[in-house]
């Protein structure tokens, strides 16, 4: 919202307070006039915030109808409210025969309050919409292929924070030659992200940018709510093993030894959560066998605000090996994904 639009809204709010005081003193004509001005300032604010500058009363009311009521952005009843309020204001100021009653003044107060609230809703929607577009555009850039290493480094930071490991940002170094992706002290992290089938986050945010830019109301930016469902520990580990196997097969073809790598899997499944009321159960023999056959030095995951080391050899870094089998969420900062 522009500073000038904010100042006009302040004038609209002040006018509404004056209306209340005038009604209390039985100054009904003055109250009707001030109620109109509350509407006028609010209408002017919305127009100005939209790049439409109008000064004359008739021009402001006409533009409100042309740009907002006729385009469906504003319910026509609000346009009619300000038209009627202007007519009553002229009667209150210039007509020496007609009397402004208490009932009419109170009606205009109610309408002016509703009118200003409605305009504010649209103005704040414009501000929120702009913020949503900016955030989505930033994510389009962040989830571009050129930012892959930054995302891998961010996943490592989140894992360490939840694990409760103290570190400085400069300790996480991007590897010049992959694998590994990220080097942290003696840890050599090979990072993988698990998403839902056919989900591409770069495309998701490109679609959101288009959606937000085209939005005309709050309803147009609302997301449908779907209650989250749990995923069992064994199912999650099974999925991790299945996805990691793809890397293992590729590295074996290149004769790369996974026994020198610490696999870190970032779980990003929509509307899924891991029930962590208890520490994870012992893995089945089959899962243990499949996990060990991949020959990683360690296998860990980060999901939401939780870090978990599923498996580690004694040769793994001490902070990883000492955390095997535990689900931890020891991060003390508000956003674990803070860069």
User: The CATH number of the domain where 92 resides is what?
Assistant: 1.20.120.330
CATH number of the domain to which 312 belongs: 3.40.1540.10
Structure tokens belonging to residue 117: 């609230």
Last residue of a domain, one of 76, 95, 126: 126
Q: Is the pLDDT of residue 102 over 70?
A: yes
Residues 28 and 120 in one domain: yes
How many domains does the chain divide into?
A: 2
Residues 155 and 249 in one domain: yes
Report, as an integer, the average pLDDT of 253-258.
92
User: Could you tell me if residue 167 is inside a domain?
Assistant: yes
User: Could you tell me if residue 140 is inside a domain?
Assistant: no
If pLDDT is split at 50, 70 and 90, which confidence band does 309 have?
very high
Last residue of a domain, one of 66, 95, 126: 126
Residue length, the chain?
339
Residues 189 and 297 in one domain: yes
Residues 121 and 152 in one domain: no
Residues 230 and 102 in one domain: no
* pLDDT at residue 176, as a whole number: 86
Residues 289 and 230 in one domain: yes
Count other Cβ atoms within 10 Å, centred on residue 13.
Answer: 15
Residues 54 and 180 in one domain: no
* pTM, two decimal places: 0.69
User: Could you tell me if residue 335 is inside a domain?
Assistant: no
User: Could you tell me if residue 64 is inside a domain?
Assistant: yes
For residue 39, CA distances in Å to 32, 127, 156, 318 come to 11, 20, 53, 67
Residues 119 and 159 in one domain: no
User: Could you tell me if residue 110 is inside a domain?
Assistant: yes
Residues 166 and 272 in one domain: yes
Residues 16 and 104 in one domain: yes
User: Could you tell me if residue 182 is inside a domain?
Assistant: yes
Residues 48 and 78 in one domain: yes
- The per-residue pLDDT for range 163-193, each reduced to its tens digit, is 999 999 999 999 888 899 999 999 999 999 9
Domain of 36, in residue numbers? 3-126
Residues 152 and 247 in one domain: yes
Last residue of a domain, one of 71, 95, 126: 126
> In the chain, what's the furthest Cα-to-Cα distance?
99
User: Could you tell me if residue 206 is inside a domain?
Assistant: no
- The per-residue pLDDT for range 278-305, each reduced to its tens digit, is 667 788 899 999 999 999 999 999 998 8
If pLDDT is split at 50, 70 and 90, which confidence band does 122 have?
confident
Q: How far is the first Cα of the chain from the last one, in angstroms, to the nearest whole number?
A: 28
Whole-number Å distance between alpha carbons of 5 and 15? 15
User: Could you tell me if residue 336 is inside a domain?
Assistant: no
CA 142, 144, 145, 149: dihedral to nearest 10 degrees? 0
Q: Is the pLDDT of residue 335 over 90?
A: no
């Amino acid at each position: 919202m522009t500073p000038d639009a904010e100042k006009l809204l302040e004038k609209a709010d002040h006018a509404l307070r004056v209306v209340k005081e005038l009604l209390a003193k039985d100054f009904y004509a003055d109250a009707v006039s001030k109620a109109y001005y509350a509407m006028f300032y609010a209408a002017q604010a919305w127009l100005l915030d939209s790049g439409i500058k109008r000064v004359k009363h008739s021009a402001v009311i006409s533009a409100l109808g042309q740009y907002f009521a006729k385009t469906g952005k504003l319910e026509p009843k609000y346009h009619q409210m300000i038209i009627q309020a202007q007519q009553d204001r002229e009667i209150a100021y210039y007509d020496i025969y007609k009397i402004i009653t208490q009932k009419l003044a109170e009606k205009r107060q109610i309408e002016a309050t509703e009118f200003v609230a409605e305009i504010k809703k649209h103005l704040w929607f414009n501000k929120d919409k702009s913020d949503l577009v900016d955030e989505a555009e930033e994510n389009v850039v962040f989830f571009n292929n050129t930012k892959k290493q930054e995302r891998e480094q961010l996943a490592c930071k989140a894992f360490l924070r939840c694990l409760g490991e103290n570190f400085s940002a400069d300790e996480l170094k991007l590897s010049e030659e992959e694998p590994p992706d990220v080097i942290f002290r003696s840890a050599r992290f090979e990072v993988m992200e698990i998403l839902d089938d056919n989900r591409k986050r770069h495309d998701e945010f490109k679609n959101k940018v288009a959606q937000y830019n085209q939005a005309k109301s709050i309803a147009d930016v609302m997301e449908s709510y779907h209650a989250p469902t749990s995923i069992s520990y064994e199912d999650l580990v099974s999925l991790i093993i299945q996805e990691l196997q793809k890397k293992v097969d590729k590295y074996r073809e290149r004769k790369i030894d996974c026994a020198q790598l610490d696999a870190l899997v970032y779980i990003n499944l929509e509307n899924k959560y891991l029930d962590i009321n208890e520490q994870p159960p012992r893995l089945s023999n089959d899962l243990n066998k499949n996990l060990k056959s991949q020959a990683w030095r360690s296998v860990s995951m980060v999901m939401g605000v939780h870090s978990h080391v599923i498996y580690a050899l004694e040769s793994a870094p001490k902070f990883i090996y000492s955390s095997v089998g535990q689900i931890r969420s020891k991060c003390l900062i508000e956003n674990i994904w803070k860069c």
